[in-house]
Amino acid sequence: MDALDIPNVQRPQLDGASSSLFGVQSWAAPAHTSANPAFNKPSSPPAPPVPSAPPLPFKYLGRMIDGDKTLVFLSLNQDTLSAGAGDTLSNAYRLELIYESSLAFTYLPLGIQQTLSIPSKP
C-alpha cells in the first residue's frame, strides 16, 4: 500500500464556497440580474392614490313638495337639515339635483359627484 502524501492533498474548491473554514458567510439571496436591462432598473415609487370623497354623511329622512319647489330632509349626526337643489350643506357638499330615487351631491373640495339613494316607499 502506498503512503498518503498529506501535505500535497488538495481539496476541490466548491463554487461560491469560502476557502476559510471560519470566513464570513452571507445568507442573503444573491442579487438577480437579467439580460434585459429594463428589468435591472430600480422601480419608480408607486403613483399616489387618486383623491376620493369621503362617504356621504347624510341620511335621507323625507321630502316636502311645495308647488314647484322640493325640499329634502336629511340627518347629519344629531342634526336635521332641510335643503333644496343648489343648496350647500356643511360647507363641503352641494345638493345638485333631487330625483325620485336618489339625490345628487357634489363634494366641493374635490368637485366629485356622489349619489345618495332614497329608500323606496313601503
**Residue 80's domain is classified under what CATH number?**
2.30.30
How many folded domains does the chain comprise?
1
C-alpha cell at 70: 322640493
Amino acid letter, residue 122: P
Is 83 a member of any domain? yes
Whether 18 has a pLDDT exceeding 60, the answer reads no
Is 21 a member of any domain? no
Measured CA to CA, the distance from residue 76 to residue 99 in angstroms comes to 20
Is 45 a member of any domain? no
Q: Give residue-wise pLDDT tens across range 40-77.
A: 667 788 889 989 999 999 999 999 998 999 999 999 99
Measured CA to CA, the distance from residue 73 to residue 89 in angstroms comes to 12
Is 76 a member of any domain? yes
Is 3 a member of any domain? no
Measured CA to CA, the distance from residue 32 to residue 4 in angstroms comes to 44
Provide the residue range defining the domain that includes 82.
Answer: 59-117
Confidence of residue 2 (pLDDT cuts 50, 70, 90): low
Confidence of residue 39 (pLDDT cuts 50, 70, 90): low
Is 88 a member of any domain? yes
Is 111 a member of any domain? yes
Q: What is the C-alpha R_g of the chain?
A: 36
Measured CA to CA, the distance from residue 104 to residue 20 in angstroms comes to 75
Confidence of residue 31 (pLDDT cuts 50, 70, 90): low
Q: State which H helix or E strand residue 60 sits in.
A: strand 59-66
Whether 25 has a pLDDT exceeding 90, the answer reads no
User: So what's the pLDDT on residue 16?
Assistant: 59
